[in-house]
Amino acid sequence: MSTPPLKKLTEPLTLFLIGVTGDLAKKKILKAIYKLHEKQLLASPFTLIGNARSPLSREEFQAYVKEIVRPSDDGTWTSFAKSLQYVAGNAADEATFAKIKALHQKLQKQRTCGNHMWYIATLPQLYLPIIQNLKQCQLHNSSCGWTKLLIEKPFGTDLASAQKLNQELSEAFSEDQIYRIDHFLGKETVQNLVAFRFANGMFEELWSNKHIDHVQVTHSESLGVAGREQFYDATGATRDVVQNHLLQMIAVCLMEEPASLNPDDIRKSRSALLKSLTGLSGKNMADHVRFGQFTAGVIDGQKVPGYLEHEGIPAESNTETAVALKLGIDSPRWAGVPIYVRTGKRLARDVLELSVQFKDKPNRMFSSIKYGPDPNILTFRFQPNEGIVLRLFVKKPGHGIELDMVPMEFCYRNTYQMDFIEAYERLIHDASNSDATLFPGHESIESSWRIIDDVLDYQRRVKPDPYPAGSWGPESFTKLIEQDGREWIEPSIDVCSV
Ligand code: BG6
């Protein structure tokens, strides 16, 4: 199977990046845009109008971007630098958008009519004023070329605010103009889940409660919250990564087969899966959710301070820096299959993986031989050491019959000697080419909040359990899964360590 090669837009494009000096623009967005420029995949002519509060001249802005993208080739950089423009001003003020509009109109005069992509990458508190300003200044559509809006998560802080945000968005933009970014959906390895499941019929047959005991997701980060204290303390691990990234990833793994490769069909399947997540309201929450907060510890041999010791974090903060959950799905295919999720900052290692544990069939020929507790497990390692691993039993060579657990691995780096396309690069390119496959729609976002609202309500009522930085989280995370007679699968360092 092959897809057409990546397309380059033939009409001019202006990308308005609001929040251009923010953490995300610095770490991901600007680098991704520059990569697309290097690969000649940006529209031509291309203009980037950055906005932030800092009073930078155009030359200072160019120098700022250069420092971030660290170009390796002068010619490529010079042509990119020419496309950079900057407007200083508070994005909450309408006057800032009037200035952006004036600059854009001035630049337009020198060019033919083109397309417009607004990219909101600011603190979430600014989303509503920005949308209103776009509308007030008549920047939400254009008589000349298309206008799209790219908007970063978090989409709201709970169901009510997400609904309000969606309402405001829909008053200014039609749904097909809106591209909500969840960069986990843009990860190459997450996309491979779809290919793995639906291109290999034999696995699809096994994908149900008939054969699967449970699913578990581990998203552990050794990184702390330095530099993002204000955002993180108001957000917490549940809102930061579970409501969006991890639930979307679970949806890709467990959704019903889409009717076609068409973006609408794929989005519909993901959304339907999220809609069928079992609500937690009325449940004994301690059986389903545990929170953690890191204390001082050691990461990679270095002592690191506890969460509450960070400047900018209130001494009595209850914010969870880690969370473990047990979820379920109300569908004939998945009834009775628990989904365990754990994530957190300052955990033992950087890993993102999803494991499917198959049921162990009783009374088999080998039941009498002690071969250990682990039945077959299929692991999708999304990062690092990307690959897919199936753990199998084999007979250990020798006179007797002794079983050994061995991995059967597909490792990207062994098979493909090429770099992955970075998620942001992929998503910005897809959005500019009007491919919405990897962008969640408003329904799927509201479905996730329905579950997460109950989790957050519980979070407000309990204290997080402390865990030392560098561990796998608090004891309570272990108990959450052990109460069901299961255990967390410790991500193996050996997976695809090629
Ligand atoms: C972001 C979260 O959305 O995703 C961060 O806000 C998290 O807290 C990050 O670290 C993880 O993404 P990646 O691609 O670096 O694994």
Residue ID of nearest Cα to ligand 1 atom 10? 221
To which H or E segment does residue 48 belong?
Answer: strand 46-52
| Strand order across the beta sheet in which 403-411 lies | 403-411, 387-395, 377-383, 351-358, 212-220, 339-344, 322-327, 289-295, 465-468
pLDDT band at 492 (very low <50, low <70, confident <90, very high): confident
Rounded to the nearest whole angstrom, what is the distance from the C-alpha of residue 2 to the centroid of ligand 1?
30
In tens, the pLDDT along 469-482 reads 999 999 999 999 99
Q: Which atom of ligand 1 is nearest to the CA of 184?
A: 14
Query: Does the CB atom of residue 241 touch ligand 1 within 6 A?
Result: yes
Q: Which atom of ligand 1 is nearest to the CA of 219?
A: 16
Strands 115-120 and 147-152: parallel
In the chain, list all ranges with CATH 3.40.50.720. 13-152
Rounded to the nearest whole angstrom, what is the distance from the C-alpha of residue 341 to the centroid of ligand 1?
16
Average the pLDDT over 410-419 and give the result: 87
Rounded to the nearest whole angstrom, what is the distance from the C-alpha of residue 182 to the centroid of ligand 1?
10
Q: Which atom of ligand 1 is nearest to the CA of 245?
A: 3
pLDDT band at 373 (very low <50, low <70, confident <90, very high): low
Residue ID of nearest Cα to ligand 1 atom 4? 241
> Rounded to an integer, what distance in angstroms lies between the CA atom of residue 40 and that of residue 46?
11
185-422+440-482: CATH homologous superfamily? Dihydrodipicolinate Reductase; domain 2 (3.30.360.10)
Rounded to the nearest whole angstrom, what is the distance from the C-alpha of residue 345 to the centroid of ligand 1?
10
CA distances from 183 to 287, 327, 491, 493 (A): 30, 22, 22, 25
In tens, the pLDDT along 101-142 reads 999 999 987 667 799 999 999 988 999 999 999 999 999 998
Query: Does the CB atom of residue 240 touch ligand 1 within 6 A?
Result: yes
Q: Which amino acid is at 237?
A: A
In tens, the pLDDT along 23-58 reads 999 999 999 999 999 999 999 899 999 999 999 999
Task: Tell me which of 3.50.30.30, 3.40.50.720, 2.40.10.10, 3.40.50.2000 is the CATH number of domain 13-152.
Answer: 3.40.50.720
Q: Which atom of ligand 1 is nearest to the CA of 244?
A: 3
Query: Does the CB atom of residue 221 touch ligand 1 within 6 A?
Result: yes
Q: Tell me if residue 11 falls in helix, strand or coil.
A: coil
Contact 453, 159 (CB under 8 A): yes
In the chain, list all ranges with CATH 3.30.360.10. 185-422+440-482
- Which positions are annotated as active-site residues? 245
Instruction: Supply the pTM of this predicted model.
Output: 0.93
